[in-house]
Structure formats: C-alpha cells, structure tokens
Amino acid sequence: MPSHEFLLVDARKFSPSDYARFFGTAESDRARLPDDFCHYIADSLEWIPTINPTVNDHPPQLGLNFHGPTVILPEHASHAAAIFKGWADLFRQAPASFELTVNWKHQARSKEPRPSRFDVDRDSTVRALSDIAAMATQVSRGDHFLLHFGL
C-alpha cells in the first residue's frame, strides 16, 4: 500500500537540501500514513506552512507534496503538531477497524459518482498521527526539521 513517510532530521547535521540522503533508507523511526488516509485529511494539511527542498531557495508553500519531499521548519512545527494531534484525538474515538471514503469518482456506465472506500486500523493510525505530532513538537524546539516523503 503506498504511504507517506515522516522523519525527524537533526538540523545541526543536515539541511533541507540533504533530503535525498534519507530517501529509500530503512529508518525504523519513521512514521507512515497510507496515501488514501493523507488524501482524506488533505484539506487540513494545506494549512501547514512548508517548503519544497527540491526547489532552489526553498520558497514557502502550504501543505505537503503528495509526490516528493516536503519540509516542515521549526517556526511552523507547532502548527503541524496541533493538526496531527487533532486528527489523532478524533480517531481515538473510532471503532478498532472502520472505513473512510475518498475520491468520489464516476464509474463506467454510471452517471452517479461512487465513493472509493478504504479500511483503517484505528490503533496504527492513531499511533502514526501521534508520532508525527510528537516529532513536530520536537521540531518546534529548533534543532530539527520534519521531512516528509510523498509517493
């Protein structure tokens, strides 16, 4: 299943331009969210100020790059932490296993859009969201940045 990865990076040793060194490495301390889930919460992810490390001078932007890397810097990390923590708190109330709906699409031979549904495991999703919120909180202290890899 395609997923998005989040990794805490020590800004005293690396810069956002060093993102490629972390791509495809088997870091055990990464938090992962399924792509469908990231699409489900995409509107709120657009509220997070970020930078694109693949672009010279790293211009500011809003939201995560769904394809490629994104960096959350210390000055915006508490905002990101609050958003991920809010989703974790919400999904703690869900049943142990449930479905979410994304990507309403027109199906062949039908004029009515139909939803695309995906299964969610509450505990692993809440754990990942909480881990990302904790990483963002650590970033807000100033010595790290949060590196996100989209598909």
Residues 92-141 have pLDDT tens digits of: 999 999 999 887 655 556 666 667 888 999 999 999 999 999 999 999 99
| Average pLDDT of span 63-83 | 97
* Confidence check: pLDDT of 143 > 60: yes
Q: Are 123 and 93 in contact (CB under 8 A)?
A: no
How high is the pLDDT of residue 1?
Answer: 75
What is the distance of C-alpha 69 from the center of its chain?
Answer: 10
Mean pLDDT of the chain: 91
> What is the rounded distance in angstroms from the CA atom of residue 83 to the CA atom of residue 21?
27
Closest CA to 6 of 19, 55, 18: 19
Output the pTM of the full model.
0.90
Rg (CA), the chain: 16
107 three-class SS: coil
The pLDDT confidence band at residue 71, using thresholds 50, 70 and 90, is very high
The pLDDT confidence band at residue 37, using thresholds 50, 70 and 90, is very high
How high is the pLDDT of residue 106?
Answer: 52
> What is the rounded distance in angstroms from the CA atom of residue 25 to the CA atom of residue 118?
27
The answer to whether the Cα torsion of 67, 69, 73, 78 is positive or negative is: positive
User: Percent of the chain beyond pLDDT 70?
Assistant: 90
Neighbours of 142 (CB within 10 A): 13
